[in-house]
């Protein structure tokens, strides 16, 4: 598992501990990482390396000899990609290429689940909604371009070398432990800080009218496991709820659990040079194949995210 100590990785480790204790987990962790989640990975065999160092990735794959690979390691902020497009290409494209090449050389029989992104779809016309897997890519951010390229490398390595790659195109996933660089966590953190008296009763916001198809991270990691078990080699599958919420609705949902009164303050830095009005997905292909559907209501996701940030702020 790359990205083992990250947001999605930590939840996937939780799932494997709870439901698949027979699985032996190897996690790729950057050299000399000081990530506080390291202690939570006590029963994960950590292999130090770097996705940007091809030799270290080959060494890690050779040491683990995995049956299944979950490639979660990525530079994942859409907003941040405008400031660091080079990092996006390096980590998301070259890092994915290094992993696929290491698997081709060392362990070509592994099932490989790639964490791709619905952001790669980019501009979608109203008549093309909800988005199915055959929708062409029209990416508008550096992040989206990098994830589109990684997605296509997954397809190419299946067709060229027969690697068992499965591409999961995740729509916006959120929940406890997510960084406050992302919108749901950012709003929840600001609410928690206002409740604790650590900031004025003002919330900084960007575009509140864009609509996104949100999936709880705890449902998303079930999809990763289902894809590893049943995904067809070379295939791509959407993972989404099939429903959309505006960012304004997200904020109102969080405030319903709080009761505070506050002022909304427009923050120009939270607006992007180009944005998508709506991302609305169709996960019927994946549902029909695996039976996967989201289980956690969006209201519970918001409540649990706010509780996480309340505890984090209190500590």
Residue 46 burial class via C-beta count within 10 angstroms: exposed 0-12, middle 13-18, buried 19 and up: middle
Q: Angle at CA 1, nearest 5°, toward 54 and 84?
A: 60
Angle between helices 95-106 and 142-161 (to 10 degrees): 20
d(CA 14, CA 7): 11
Report residue 36's pLDDT band, with 50, 70 and 90 as the boundaries.
very low
User: Rounded mean pLDDT of the chain?
Assistant: 95
For the chain, the domains span 7-174+214-240
Q: Is the pLDDT of residue 39 over 60?
A: no
Residue 297 burial class via C-beta count within 10 angstroms: exposed 0-12, middle 13-18, buried 19 and up: exposed
Residue-wise pLDDT for 276-300, tens only, equals 999 999 999 999 999 999 999 999 9
251 touches 188 (CB < 8 A): no
Show the DSSP H helices in 112-182 as ranges: 142-161
pLDDT of residue 32: 62
CATH number given to 7-174+214-240 = 3.40.50.720
Residue-wise pLDDT for 74-117, tens only, equals 999 888 898 999 999 999 999 999 999 999 999 999 999 999 99
Residue-wise pLDDT for 163-199, tens only, equals 999 999 999 999 999 999 999 999 999 999 999 999 9
User: Which tops the pLDDT comparison, 269 or 231?
Assistant: 231
């Amino acid at each position: 598992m790359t990205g083992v100590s990250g947001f999605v990785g930590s939840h996937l480790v939780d799932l494997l501990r709870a439901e698949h204790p027979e699985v032996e987990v190897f996690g790729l962790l950057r050299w000399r990482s000081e990530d506080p989640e390291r202690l939570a990975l006590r029963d994960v065999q950590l292999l130090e390396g770097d996705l940007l160092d091809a030799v270290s990735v080959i060494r890690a794959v050779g040491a683990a000899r995995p049956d299944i690979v979950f490639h979660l390691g990525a530079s994942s902020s859409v907003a941040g990609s405008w400031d660091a497009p080079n990092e996006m290409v390096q980590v998301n494209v070259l890092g994915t290429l290094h992993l696929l090449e290491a698997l081709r050389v060392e362990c070509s029989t592994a099932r490989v689940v790639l964490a791709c992104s619905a952001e790669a779809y980019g501009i979608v016309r109203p008549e093309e909604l909800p988005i199915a897997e055959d929708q062409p890519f029209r990416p508008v951010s550096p992040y989206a371009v990098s994830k589109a390229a990684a997605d296509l490398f997954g397809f190419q390595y299946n067709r060229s070398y027969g690697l068992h790659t499965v591409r999961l195109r995740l729509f916006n996933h959120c929940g406890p432990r997510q960084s406050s660089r992302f919108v749901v966590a950012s709003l929840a953190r600001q609410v928690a800080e206002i409740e604790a008296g650590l900031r004025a009763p003002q919330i900084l916001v960007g575009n509140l009218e864009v609509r996104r198809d949100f999936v709880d991270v705890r449902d998303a990691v079930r999809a990763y496991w289902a894809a590893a078990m049943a995904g067809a080699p070379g295939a791509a599958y959407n993972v989404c709820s099939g429903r959309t919420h505006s960012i304004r609705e997200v904020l109102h949902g969080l405030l319903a659990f709080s009761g505070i009164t506050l002022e909304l303050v427009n923050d120009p830095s939270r607006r992007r040079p180009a944005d998508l009005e709506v991302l609305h997905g169709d996960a019927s292909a994946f549902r029909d194949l695996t039976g996967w559907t989201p289980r956690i209501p969006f209201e519970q996701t918001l409540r649990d995210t706010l509780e996480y940030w309340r505890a984090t702020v209190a500590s």
